[in-house]
């Protein structure tokens, strides 16, 4: 049997204006538009061999069970009908599934490595459409820097993909990642999202105001207005969590240290250091700031957190 291998690397992105809710679960189409920053330093590196003895998925040097691998191989089924068995070897240089956006880097790297190994010539936009079907946030990691994910209107989802809005060197900002826990989350973002949309009374308000959030944030990015962007990011974050808190049963990813970091950010801001927070489906806090302030912010949160990282705007998904 002939086989071909390709390796791609991708970085996580952090949503400044959040994606939460789906209008189509099968095609994984979002109920809201979103906006993100692709980050440096953390990455997933994935090699796909198209044509092997059997489907095999290794993550961080550990062979995964059939249940753990199912999502990966169902994703590869999207590439071509009757694909051959494939080997997928993937490595994260950061904690998996702990709210550090590992599914974004995972599915964008997998989409690129698999399509090249399968000899499909896909544009970056087509790769984003593909990656979206593995995990929504992955559609944004294909590009460097500042990226919008348009909801799209088409039923087949071909117009729901990332769009680059500014390159990584557009603006010298940093994301300080405050790691409160690198444990796996109690409920996956996918399950929590579906529960929210079926039971939270806040869900309609969330959907109805998302486009305004994106428009304001996009303008702030173009104008390099950190305060405007930071305020809108916090607003989007708190609206997203209000839909989670009010779902039945309630979903609460936050830990006491999460709020302690939020308070520290507010105190830094009151002391004249411009910085704003966001969180995802986990207890960790990400703090957006100017590059020159990142170290001081990191020192202020150090006593509260398990670990912290200072990440800068990063590259899009690329072949190695």
Alpha carbon 212 to chain centroid, angstroms: 21
Question: What residues from 193 to 212 belong to the interface with ligand DP6 (CB under 6 A)?
Answer: 193
Is 19 a binding residue for ligand DP6 by CB under 6 A? The answer is: yes
Is 148 a binding residue for ligand DP6 by CB under 6 A? The answer is: no
Question: Which residue's CB is nearer to ligand DP6, number 6 or number 288?
Answer: 288
Residue 66-105 contact track with ligand DP6, rule CB under 6 A, x = bound:
-------------------------------------x--
Size of the site for ligand DP6 (CB under 6 A): 15
What tokens does 122 get? 């896909």
Is 185 a binding residue for ligand DP6 by CB under 6 A? The answer is: no
- Closest approach of Cβ 128 to ligand DP6, in Å? 13
Phi/psi-derived region of residue 132, left when phi > 0, alpha when psi is between -120 and 50, beta in every other case = alpha
Report the candidate in 2, 17, 6, 18 with the shortest Cα–Cα distance to residue 281.
Answer: 18
Q: Considering only the stretches 37-45, 89-97, 118-126, 129-137, report the one whose residues sit in contact with ligand DP6 under the rule CB under 6 A.
A: 129-137
What tokens does 263 get? 């308070």
Is 141 a binding residue for ligand DP6 by CB under 6 A? The answer is: no
**CA 150 to each of CA 29, 44, 132, 140, 224: distance values in angstroms, whole numbers, following the listed order:** 10, 24, 11, 10, 21
Dihedral sign, Cα of residue 232, residue 233, residue 235, residue 236: positive
Is 33 a binding residue for ligand DP6 by CB under 6 A? The answer is: no
Question: Which residue's CB is nearer to ligand DP6, number 6 or number 185?
Answer: 185
Is 135 a binding residue for ligand DP6 by CB under 6 A? The answer is: yes
Single out the residue of 11, 18, 161, 218 in contact with ligand DP6 (rule: CB under 6 A). 18
Q: Using N-to-C axis directions, what is the helix angle for 203-223 and 226-245, rounded to 10°?
A: 160
Single out the residue of 21, 33, 95, 136 in contact with ligand DP6 (rule: CB under 6 A). 136
Question: Which residue's CB is nearer to ligand DP6, number 211 or number 299?
Answer: 211
Determine the Cα–Cα distance for residues 32 and 318; give it in Å rounded to an integer: 27
Residue 254-293 contact track with ligand DP6, rule CB under 6 A, x = bound:
--------------------------xx------------
Report the candidate in 186, 144, 200 with the shortest Cα–Cα distance to residue 167.
Answer: 144
- Closest approach of Cβ 87 to ligand DP6, in Å? 23
- Closest approach of Cβ 15 to ligand DP6, in Å? 3
Q: Considering only the stretches 156-164, 173-181, 189-197, 308-316, report the one whose residues sit in contact with ligand DP6 under the rule CB under 6 A.
A: 189-197
128 φ, ψ to 5°?
-65, -40
Single out the residue of 28, 40, 108, 181 in contact with ligand DP6 (rule: CB under 6 A). 28
Q: How many CA atoms lie within 13 A of 269 on its CB side?
A: 17
Is 189 a binding residue for ligand DP6 by CB under 6 A? The answer is: yes
Question: Which residue's CB is nearer to ligand DP6, number 213 or number 293?
Answer: 213
Binding residues vs ligand DP6 (CB under 6 A): 15, 18-20, 28, 34, 103, 135-137, 189-190, 193, 280-281
């Amino acid at each position: 049997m002939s086989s071909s291998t390709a390796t791609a690397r991708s970085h996580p992105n952090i949503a400044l204006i959040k994606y939460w809710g789906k209008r189509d679960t099968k095609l994984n189409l979002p109920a809201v538009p979103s906006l993100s920053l692709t980050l440096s330093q953390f990455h997933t590196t994935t090699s796909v061999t198209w044509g092997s003895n059997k489907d095999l998925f290794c993550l961080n040097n550990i062979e995964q069970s059939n249940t753990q691998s199912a999502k990966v191989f169902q994703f590869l089924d999207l590439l071509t009908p009757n694909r051959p068995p494939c080997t997928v070897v993937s490595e994260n240089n950061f904690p998996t599934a702990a709210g550090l956006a590992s599914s974004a880097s995972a599915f964008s790297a997998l989409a690129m490595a698999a399509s090249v190994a399968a000899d499909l010539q896909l544009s970056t936009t087509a790769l984003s459409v593909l990656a979206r079907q593995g995990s929504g946030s992955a559609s944004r990691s294909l590009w460097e820097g500042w990226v919008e994910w348009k909801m799209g209107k088409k039923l087949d989802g071909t117009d729901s993909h990332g769009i680059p809005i500014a390159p990584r060197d557009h603006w010298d900002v940093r994301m300080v990642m405050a790691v409160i826990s690198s444990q796996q989350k109690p409920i996956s973002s996918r399950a929590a999202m579906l529960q929210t949309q079926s039971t939270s009374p806040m869900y309609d308000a969330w959907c109805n105001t998302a486009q305004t959030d994106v428009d304001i944030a996009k303008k702030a990015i173009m104008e390099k207005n950190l305060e405007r962007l930071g305020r809108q990011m916090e607003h989007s974050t708190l609206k997203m969590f209000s839909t989670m808190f009010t779902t039945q049963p309630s979903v609460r990813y936050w830990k006491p240290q999460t709020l302690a970091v939020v308070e520290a950010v507010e105190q830094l801001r009151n002391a004249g250091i411009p910085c704003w927070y966001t969180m995802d489906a986990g207890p960790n806090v990400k703090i957006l700031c100017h590059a020159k302030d990142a170290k001081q912010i990191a020192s202020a949160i150090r006593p509260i957190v398990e670990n912290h990282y200072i990440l800068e705007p990063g590259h899009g998904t690329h072949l190695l």
